[in-house]
């Protein structure tokens, strides 16, 4: 006997799935848009074809085992855009929208020469393409360079740029941080790995690429490198904007201050946690310095 939509959703919740997650998985199994949750409610008693129910059950088992919902459905909404994602890249998180908004807030709009923005460790391209979408809509004289050390991640990002029609505003390059970077930028942004390598929370993130999550004993190895190296690639008055862990703001601001950045400050994410810190490079560069 075929199960109804209501029965399928109840079975998913009995596995511990949130109702919203169960609804999105059922819509995916039914081949319907993720925006059709109201349709599910209006058709509560409709029977679901057995093949769709079997597909839904498989989705639910994967979700209950800890696989991110975005990997199962193949996409994630971020900053008003839809990004294709899979296990080659981190799932874009709402926390990172704070980083994007900060970049847009300091984006120069009155320069006579084109503005260049650098996205270090682009992953799915969420940050770079969200910024590029703003540039395109506002018809600004600006472009984004997006780098990643993972060729797999760059393939995902390029696919997203194509799907979103944003290729003209973003250039993708394979580079381990600044290894192949040339020129200077008005803004350098990064959501680098920042979890301590022995952090117990990594156990819950086994489905996502470890190299995009962990960064040394205290989680700050990559941030130290970026803070130290970025001034050589920042224009006078350029900004470095970094995402970090909710408990790392004091340490990251200290790194920025000691390296000589000015206007060092932090911002909170949607949950009210200090999630991003930034500094402006306003002085002459006097050698490599210490961070």
- Convert the pLDDT of each residue in 74-132 to its tens digit: 999 999 999 999 999 999 999 999 999 999 999 998 877 899 999 999 999 999 999 99
Residue 283 has pLDDT above 60, yes or no: no
Residue 287: what pLDDT? 37
Identify which of 78, 280, 276 has the alpha carbon closest to the alpha carbon of residue 192: 276
CA nearest neighbour of 96 among 271, 290, 238: 271
The pLDDT tens digits for 120-129 are 999 999 999 9
pLDDT at 23: 96
Q: What percent of the chain has pLDDT over 70?
A: 91
Decide if pLDDT at 288 tops 60. Answer: no
pLDDT of residue 110: 81
Supply the pLDDT for residue 291. Answer: 30
Element (H, E) at 10: helix 5-14
b (16+ CB within 10 A) / e for 217-251? ebbbbbbbbbbbbbbebbbeebbbbbbbbeebbeb
Q: Which CATH architecture has domain 88-281?
A: 3-Layer(aba) Sandwich (3.40)
Q: Whole-prediction pTM value?
A: 0.89
Please choose, from the candidates 235, 230, 236, the residue with its C-alpha nearest in 3D space to the C-alpha of residue 277. Answer: 230
Return the SS3 of 107.
Answer: coil
The pLDDT score that the predictor gives to residue 196 is: 72
Between CA 237 and CA 91 the distance in angstroms is: 32
Angle (nearest 5°) at CA 172 between 105 and 129: 35
* pLDDT 10s digits, 156-187: 999 999 999 999 999 999 999 999 999 999 99
How far is residue 213's CA from residue 28's CA, in Å, rounded to a whole number? 28
Where exactly are the structural domains of the chain? Answer: 5-65, 88-281
Name the average pLDDT for the chain: 91
pLDDT at 200: 62
């Amino acid at each position: 006997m075929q199960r109804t939509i209501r029965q399928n959703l109840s079975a998913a919740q009995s596995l511990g799935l949130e109702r919203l997650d169960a609804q999105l998985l059922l819509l995916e199994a039914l081949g319907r848009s993720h925006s059709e949750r109201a349709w599910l409610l209006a058709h509560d008693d409709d029977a679901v074809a057995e093949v769709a129910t079997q597909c839904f059950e498989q989705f639910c088992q994967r979700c209950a085992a800890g696989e991110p919902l975005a990997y199962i459905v193949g996409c994630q909404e971020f900053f008003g855009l839809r990004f294709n994602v899979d296990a080659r890249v981190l799932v874009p998180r709402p926390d990172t929208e704070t980083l994007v908004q900060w970049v847009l807030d300091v984006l120069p709009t009155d320069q006579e020469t084109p503005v260049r923005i650098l996205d270090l460790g682009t992953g799915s391209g969420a940050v770079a393409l969200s910024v590029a979408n703003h540039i395109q809509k506002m018809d600004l004289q600006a472009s984004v360079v997006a780098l990643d050390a993972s060729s797999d991640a760059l393939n995902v990002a390029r696919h997203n740029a194509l799907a979103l029609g944003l290729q003209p505003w973003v250039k993708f390059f394979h580079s381990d941080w600044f290894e192949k970077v040339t020129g200077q930028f008005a803004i350098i942004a990064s959501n680098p790995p920042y979890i301590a390598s022995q952090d117990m929370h990594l156990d819950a993130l086994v489905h996502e690429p470890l190299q995009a999550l962990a960064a040394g004993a205290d989680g700050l190895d990559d941030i130290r490198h970026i803070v130290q190296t970025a001034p050589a690639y920042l224009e006078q008055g350029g900004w470095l904007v970094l995402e970090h862990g909710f408990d790392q703001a004091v340490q990251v601001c200290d790194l920025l201050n000691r390296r000589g950045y000015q206007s060092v400050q932090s911002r909170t994410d949607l949950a009210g946690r200090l999630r991003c810190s930034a500094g402006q490079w306003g002085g002459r560069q006097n050698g490599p310095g210490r961070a």
